[in-house]
Amino acid sequence: MKKPLILVTNDDGITAPGLRALISVMKEIGEVVVVAPDSPQSGMGHAITLDNTLYSKKVVIDKEKGAPLEYSCSGTPADCVKLALQELLDRRPDICVSGINHGSNSSINVIYSGTMSAAIEAGIEGVPAIGFSLCDYGWDADFQPSLKFVKKIVVETLKNGIPKGTVLNVNIPKTDGTPPKGIKICRQARANWKEKFDKRTSPTGKEYYWLTGEFELLDKGEDTDEWALAHGYVSVVPTQFDLTAHHTIPQLNNWTLNEQE
């Protein structure tokens, strides 16, 4: 039997330690092809390249025997997946994994995440997909304690599949070097960012801004991703890309939108 073909991507760039850690685990499971941005693309959400040229080239990052085929891409994470599926792969991947992101993509962060947008792009095309994130923004973050959980989730996904229209958003807690306590299936916590802009002036007198802010958790539930992460568990949130608020349709149908004025 053929090994499963695994498409690996991210938003931190093709040399990011989190991506290299993810590749190392995926090589134990199947045949790996990497298509990742040539530079960091964090916070890009589901942006795609429309009014600029898009470049891709084969690169050699890992020179060890059995290293996977890798491509760098000048575009966004969503671009990487589009290009991989339409141009670069010689067969359809069995799964797409994105990450491991340097930093959390839990709760409301999923909206802005390039990591998750890459997974969602694969899901839109019918490819089972998972986004992985470690709640540690450091470039030297320790990914080792989380890797057995990453492997287990991918193996289970390949065995059982993911419901149509859904991708998995997996977040891993930052620990002191010990593995997480386990895995919990969760819902996305209600939260928001209390945003501020730090206004500054350049040496030439031009005003500019740095976005800052504080994460505000609005949810006390014990079934959320934020609760799981705070208590040392890996959170797995099934995430849909149909943004329709189906429960509001009956209410809107009561509006008098079609009555003549």
Residue 206 included in any domain: no
Residue 202 included in any domain: no
The range of the structural domain enclosing residue 231 comes to: 5-190+221-252
Token duo for residue 178: 């010990």
Does 117 belong to an annotated binding site? Answer: no
Low-confidence residues in the chain, pLDDT < 50: none
Residue 244 included in any domain: yes
Cβ partners under 8 Å of residue 149, min gap 6? 172, 179, 180, 183, 234
Model pLDDT, residue 221 = 94
Residue 101 included in any domain: yes
Number of domains present in the structure of the chain: 1
Model pLDDT, residue 233 = 97
Angle in degrees, CA 189, 192, 132, rounded to 5:
55
Does 42 belong to an annotated binding site? Answer: yes
Model pLDDT, residue 185 = 98
Model pLDDT, residue 256 = 87
CB atoms within 10 A of CB 168: 22
Does 10 belong to an annotated binding site? Answer: no
Residue 200 included in any domain: no
Model pLDDT, residue 261 = 66
Looking at residue 74, which CATH number applies to its domain?
A: 3.40.1210.10
Does 12 belong to an annotated binding site? Answer: yes
Residue 204 included in any domain: no
Specify the pTM: 0.93
